C-alpha cells in the first residue's frame, strides 16, 4: 500500500493544513478518493453545530471491512495483519495474515447471521484482548451490526446499563480473560448483567481460560461450535453489507460530568477516512513496519489505532493480551525485542509505572528496531517524556504526544513523527482538517500566542461523533451548547509563544485516572449506594503513577467502629456498581462537606485540600458553614 496523502515535510504539513481550512470539502474528498467505495458521495459535507447535524460523504456507499480486508488481499494477503502476543510469555504467539483475518471475519460474520443478527442490530462485546475480539468487531461491521465494546474491567451493573441503553440483542464474550496473574471470569460477569437485560436473546462464548461457566440452554452458545456449523454449510465467504456513509458503525460509552455514561456514536464513512488518515500521518507508517499500540480495544484508542486505522492502512498491528508488569516490568521491551517493533504507542501512566522499576528491566533488551514512539490519554509530564525519549527511543525516535478524545474518533492535535519539531509536554499542532480555538469563560475567543483558554474546535472533521445514542439532546447540551457554534472538548489548554498547544487537563468534573475517564458524579452515586452513607464528594488529586487519583469525602449516617473495614466495604460497592477502575484511592470520613448557601458542594475547596494545598483555599465567604473546612483539613489523608 502506498499513501499518496502522507505528509513528508513540515512545509507539506503547513500547506495541507491551509488547504484544509480554505477548502475543507476539496481537502477531504482528495483523501477519501483513495478508499474503496461501492458508490461515491453526492456531497462531501453538510453541517451545523446548533442541532448539531454533521454529515460527511452523504450518499456514499461502503463497507469499512472491505477497506480493512478485501482490498488488501491481492497485494498483502500473506502479510501479517495481526500479531498476537499472549499474557503468558511461554504460550505461543499467533500471526494472522490479511487472508486469514479475512477468512475468520467472514466466518464469524456468518455465525452472527446464523444467530439472527441483522444490519442495525446492536451487539455488545465483552472480551479480553485476544484476536477473536478484533474478529468480532470486524464481523459486526461486515454485516452492518453496530458494535458496543465494553472494557473487561467494568462491572455487571455497568454492562447492564450499557446493554439496556443500546437495547443490544446479542452479547459476545469469553469464558474468562488472562490479565497478568489474574484470571477474570467474563462470562460470569455477563450472567449477572443479563439478569437485568431481557433484550439479549443470544450470548456467544469464546473459549480462552476454560474456567467453568454456566451455559444457559437456548441462550448461550459456544463460539467454536457455531464456527463448525458455518463450516459445514459450505461457502465460507460473507458478502459485506452495503452501508451508507452516515450509517452507525459503533457505539462506545464514555463518562461525562453528569449522569450515566453516554453512548458516543461514530458512523462508517467519516470515521474510516479519519482513523486511517491520522494513523498514516501521525505515525508516518511505512509498509511492513510493525506497530504496537498497548491500549485495550475496549477504549477508543484500541478501536481507532489497533483495529480500524492500521488495518485500513494495510499495516501490521500487534495486539497484546497482558499487562506491562507481567511476568515482570520488562514485558513491553521483550515484546519489542521479539517482534522487532518499529512503532510503540502507549500511555503516560504505563511509562511512569515502568519508570518506577528503574533501568534493570530495560537494559540488555534490544530496542534498536524502534523508530517512532507515541503517547496518549493524559498529559505527559516532562520526566516521563524524557525517560521515554532517552531510554526507549535511545534519543533518536521522535515522540508523538497525541491529544484526542472518544468523541473525536481520532487524533486531533499531535506532532507528525519526525516532521514537527517536538517540545516535551506539548501536543504541538493541529492535524490538517482541525481548527482549534481557545475561548475564555464568556465564550470570547482568546487570540494570539502565549495564552490560555478552554479548548474548542470550530469546524467539523470526518471522525467526530454524530450523536449520543438514543439522546441527541444530551449530545447537543454536552458538546455544542456551552459555546455558540463550537464543539467544546472539556479540556483546558495553553497556546505558547510558538503557537504550540499544551493540554492542561479537564475543566469539568471528569477525572482521568490512568488514562481512563471517570466522572466524579458517577463515583459519588456509587458510593452513595453503600449502606450507611449519607453523602459523598469526589475530587481528583495528583498521583505519581495514575496521573490523577480519586479522593472521596464521605459522610456516614453514624460513626463507624471500624473505619478500615467500612472503607473496604465502600470499595467493594464501587467495584460492584462501576468496576475496580473507579475505586477511590483515599476515603476520608467527614462530618460535613463545604456547601454554598444554595446547597452546592464547593469542589474547588475539596480539591485544594485533597491536593495538599489547604492554605490557599481562596474565598470561603459564601460557605454555609465554614467550620466544616477546618475539620476536613485536620482529617486529611
Ligand atoms: C481526554 C479524553 C483519546 C484516547 C484516550 C482517552 C485527555 C487524551 C491527551 C494528551 C493531554 C490528553 C483529555 C481528553 N487526553 N490525550 N495527549 N494530552 N490530555 O480518551 O477517555 O475519551 O479521554 O483524555 O483530557 O479530553 P478519552
DSSP for 267-293 reads EHHHHHHHHHHHHHHHTT--TT-EEEE
Joined grid coordinates for residue 35: 478508499
Task: Output the nine-digit C-alpha cell for 494.
Answer: 495553553
Give, for ligand 1, the residue of 503, 509, 513, 519 to mutate: max count of ligand atoms closer than 8 Å to Cβ: 503
- The pLDDT value recorded for residue 56 is 98
Q: Which grid coordinates belong to 15?
A: 500547506
Q: Is 491 in the pocket of ligand 1 (CB under 6 A)?
A: yes
Assess whether pLDDT exceeds 90 at residue 2. Answer: no
Task: Give the tens place of pLDDT for each residue, 10-63.
Answer: 999 999 999 999 999 999 999 999 999 999 999 999 999 999 999 999 999 999
- Binding site membership of 254 for ligand 1 (Cβ less than 6 Å): yes
pLDDT at res. 615:
82
Q: Is the CB of 300 under 6 A from ligand 1?
A: yes
Is pLDDT at 619 greater than 80 in this prediction?
no
pLDDT at position 528 over 90: yes
618 pLDDT band, cuts 50/70/90, is confident
3-state DSSP call for residue 395? coil
Q: What is the pLDDT of residue 379?
A: 94
Contacts of 245 (CB under 8 A, 6+ apart): 41, 55, 56, 57, 58, 59, 60, 61, 62, 267, 268, 269, 270
Q: How far is the CA of 218 from the centre of ligand 1 (A)?
A: 42
Give the mean pLDDT of 65-90: 98
Between the alpha carbon of residue 54 and those of residues 27, 45, 222, 459, the distances in Å are: 17, 8, 40, 10
Q: Helix (H, G, I), strand (E, B), or coil: what is residue 528? A: helix
- Bridging pattern class, strands 61-62 and 243-244: antiparallel
* Cα–Cα dist 481/463, whole Å: 20
Report the alpha-carbon distance of residue 124 to residue 239 in Å, rounded: 22
Contacts of 489 (CB under 8 A, 6+ apart): 405, 408, 454, 455, 456, 457
pLDDT tens-digit profile of 430-455?
999 999 999 999 999 999 999 999 99
Q: What is the pLDDT of residues 257-297, one digit of tens each?
A: 888 999 999 999 999 999 999 999 999 999 999 999 999 99
Per-residue pLDDT band at 64 (split at 50, 70, 90): very high
Q: What residue ranges in 525-633 does DSSP mark as E strands?
A: 533-543, 547-556, 586-589
Whole-number Å distance, alpha carbon 378 to ligand 1 midpoint, is 5
Residue 60 CA neighbour count, 13 Å, CB half = 26
Give pLDDT, residue 620: 77
User: What mean pLDDT do residues 476-503 have?
Assistant: 97
CA–chain centroid gap for 536, Å, is 28
Mean pLDDT on 225-234: 92
Which atom of ligand 1 approaches the CA of 503 most closely? 11
Pocket flag, ligand 1, residue 379 (CB < 6 Å) = yes
The pLDDT of residue 89 = 98
Q: What count of other Cβ atoms lies within 10 Å of the Cβ of residue 92?
A: 9
**DSSP letter, residue 403:** B
Distance between Cα 548 and ligand 1 center (Å): 13
Q: What is the mean pLDDT of residues 103-112?
A: 98
pLDDT band at residue 597 under the 50/70/90 scheme: confident
Q: What is the rounded average pLDDT for all residues in the chain?
A: 96
Is the minimum distance from the CB of 332 to ligand 1 under 6 angstroms?
Answer: no
Ligand 1 pocket residue status of 306, Cβ below 6 Å = no
pLDDT given at position 316: 98
What percent of the chain stands above pLDDT 70? 100
pLDDT of residue 273: 99
Query: Which pLDDT score, from 0 to 100, does residue 157 have?
Result: 97
Q: Is the dihedral of CA 329, 333, 335, 338 positive or negative?
A: negative
The yes-or-no verdict on residue 621 having pLDDT over 90 is: no
pLDDT at res. 233: 84
How is residue 251 written as a grid cell?
457505539
CA within 13 Å, CB half, 239: 4
Residue 613: its pLDDT value, please?
Answer: 86
Substitution candidate for ligand 1 out of 255, 378, 385 with most atoms within 8 A of CB: 378
For residue 287, the model assigns a pLDDT of 97
Query: Which of 513, 517, 548, 581 for mutating ligand 1's site (highest number of atoms within 8 Å of CB)?
Result: 517
pLDDT given for residue 1 in this prediction: 79
CA of residue 631 to ligand 1 center, whole Å:
35
- Longest alpha-carbon distance in the chain: 77
| 603 close to 521: Cβ distance less than 8 angstroms | no
Q: Is 506 in the pocket of ligand 1 (CB under 6 A)?
A: yes
Q: Give the pLDDT band (50/70/90) at residue 235.
A: confident
Ligand 1 in reach of 406 Cβ (< 6 A): yes
Q: What is the mean pLDDT of residues 145-166?
A: 97
Mean pLDDT over 220-239 rounds to: 93
Is residue 25 left, alpha or beta, with left meaning phi > 0 and alpha meaning psi from -120 to 50?
A: alpha
pLDDT for 560: 82
Q: Is 303 in the pocket of ligand 1 (CB under 6 A)?
A: no
Specify the higher pLDDT residue, 77 or 601.
Answer: 77
- The answer, yes or no, to whether residue 614 has pLDDT greater than 90, is no
Q: Is the CB of 405 under 6 A from ligand 1?
A: yes
Pocket test for ligand 1, best of 261, 301, 490, 512 (most atoms within 8 A of CB): 512
Supply the pTM of this predicted model. 0.97
Domains with residue ranges and CATH for the chain: 98-244 (3.40.50.980), 510-634 (3.30.300.30)
What's the confidence (pLDDT) of residue 463? 98
- pLDDT exceeds 90 at position 166: yes
Q: Do the beta carbons of residue 440 and residue 496 sit within 8 Å? A: no
Write down the pLDDT at residue 234. 78
Indicate which atom in ligand 1 lies nearest the CA of residue 380.
Answer: 18
Centre of ligand 1 from the C-alpha of residue 616, in Å: 29
Amino acid at each position: 500500500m502506498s499513501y499518496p496523502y502522507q505528509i513528508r515535510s513540515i512545509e507539506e504539513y503547513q500547506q495541507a493544513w491551509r488547504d484544509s481550512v480554505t477548502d475543507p470539502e476539496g481537502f477531504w474528498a482528495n483523501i477519501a478518493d483513495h478508499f474503496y467505495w461501492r458508490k461515491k458521495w453526492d456531497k462531501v459535507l453538510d453541517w451545523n453545530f446548533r442541532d448539531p447535524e454533521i454529515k460527511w460523504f452523504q450518499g456514499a456507499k461502503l463497507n469499512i471491512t472491505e477497506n480493512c480486508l478485501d482490498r488488501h488481499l491481492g497485494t498483502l494477503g500473506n502479510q501479517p495483519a495481526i500479531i498476537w502476543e499472549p499474557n503468558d510469555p511461554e504460550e505461543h504467539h499467533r500471526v494472522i495474515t490479511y487472508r486469514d483475518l479475512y477468512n475468520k471475519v467472514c466466518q464469524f460474520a456468518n455465525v452472527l447471521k446464523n444467530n439472527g443478527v441483522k444490519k442495525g442490530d446492536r451487539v455488545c462485546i465483552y472480551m479480553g484482548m485476544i484476536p477473536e475480539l478484533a474478529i468480532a468487531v470486524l464481523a459486526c461491521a461486515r454485516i452492518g451490526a453496530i458494535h458496543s465494546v465494553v472494557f473487561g474491567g467494568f462491572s455487571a451493573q455497568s454492562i447492564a446499563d450499557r446493554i439496556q441503553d443500546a437495547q443490544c440483542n446479542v452479547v459476545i464474550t469469553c469464558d474468562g480473560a488472562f490479565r497478568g496473574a489474574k484470571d477474570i471470569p467474563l462470562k460470569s460477569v455477563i450472567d449477572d448483567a443479563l439478569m437485568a437485560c431481557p433484550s439479549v436473546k443470544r450470548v456467544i462464548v469464546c473459549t480462552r481460560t476454560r474456567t467453568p461457566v454456566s451455559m444457559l440452554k437456548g441462550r448461550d452458545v459456544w463460539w467454536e461450535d457455531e464456527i463448525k456449523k458455518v463450516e459445514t454449510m459450505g461457502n465460507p465467504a460473507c458478502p459485506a453489507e452495503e452501508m451508507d456513509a452516515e450509517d452507525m458503525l459503533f457505539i462506545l460509552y464514555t463518562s461525562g460530568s453528569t449522569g450515566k455514561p453516554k453512548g458516543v456514536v461514530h458512523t462508517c464513512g467519516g470515521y474510516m477516512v479519519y482513523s486511517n488518515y491520522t494513523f498514516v500521518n501521525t505515525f508516518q507508517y511505512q509498509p511492513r513496519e510493525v506497530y504496537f499500540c498497548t491500549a485495550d480495544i475496549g477504549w477508543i484508542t484500541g478501536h481507532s489505532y489497533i483495529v480500524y486505522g492500521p488495518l485500513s492502512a494495510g499495516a501490521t498491528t500487534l495486539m497484546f493480551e497482558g499487562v506491562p508488569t507481567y511476568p515482570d516490568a520488562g514485558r513491553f521491551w521483550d515484546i519489542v525485542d521479539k517482534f522487532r517493533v518499529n512503532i510503540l504507542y502507549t500511555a503516560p501512566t504505563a511509562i511512569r509505572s515502568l519508570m518506577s522499576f528503574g533501568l534493570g528491566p530495560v537494559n540488555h533488551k534490544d530496542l534498536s528496531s524502534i523508530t517512532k514512539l507515541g503517547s496518549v490519554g493524559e498529559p505527559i509530564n516532562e520526566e516521563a517524556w524524557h525517560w521515554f525519549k532517552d531510554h526507549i527511543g535511545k534519543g533518536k525516535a521522535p515522540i508523538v504526544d497525541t491529544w484526542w478524545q472518544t468523541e473525536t474518533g481520532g487524533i486531533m492535535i499531535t506532532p507528525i513523527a519526525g516532521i514537527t519539531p517536538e517540545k516535551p509536554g506539548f501536543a504541538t499542532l493541529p492535524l490538517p482538517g482541525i481548527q482549534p480555538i481557545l475561548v475564555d469563560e464568556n465564550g470570547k475567543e482568546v487570540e494570539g500566542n502565549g495564552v490560555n483558554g478552554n479548548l474548542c474546535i470550530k469546524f467539523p472533521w470526518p471522525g467526530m461523533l454524530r450523536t449520543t445514542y438514543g439522546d441527541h439532546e444530551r449530545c447537543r447540551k454536552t458538546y455544542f451548547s456551552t459555546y455558540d457554534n463550537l464543539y467544546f472538548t472539556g479540556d483546558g489548554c495553553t497556546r505558547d509563544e510558538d503557537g504550540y498547544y499544551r493540554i492542561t487537563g479537564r475543566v469539568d468534573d471528569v477525572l482521568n485516572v490512568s488514562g481512563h475517564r471517570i466522572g466524579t458524579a458517577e463515583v459519588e452515586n456509587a458510593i452513595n449506594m453503600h449502606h450507611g452513607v449519607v453523602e459523598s464528594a469526589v475530587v481528583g488529586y495528583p498521583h505519581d503513577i495514575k496521573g490523577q487519583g480519586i479522593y472521596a469525602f464521605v459522610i456516614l449516617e453514624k460513626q463507624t467502629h471500624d473505619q478500615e473495614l467500612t472503607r473496604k466495604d465502600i470499595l467493594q460497592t464501587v467495584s460492584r456498581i462501576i468496576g475496580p477502575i473507579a475505586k477511590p484511592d483515599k476515603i476520608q470520613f467527614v462530618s460535613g462537606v463545604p456547601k454554598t448557601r444554595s446547597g452546592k458542594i464547593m469542589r474547588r475547596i475539596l480539591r485544594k485540600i485533597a491536593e495538599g494545598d489547604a492554605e490557599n483555599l481562596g474565598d470561603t465567604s459564601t460557605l454555609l458553614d465554614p467550620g466544616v473546612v477546618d475539620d476536613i483539613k485536620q482529617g486529611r489523608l
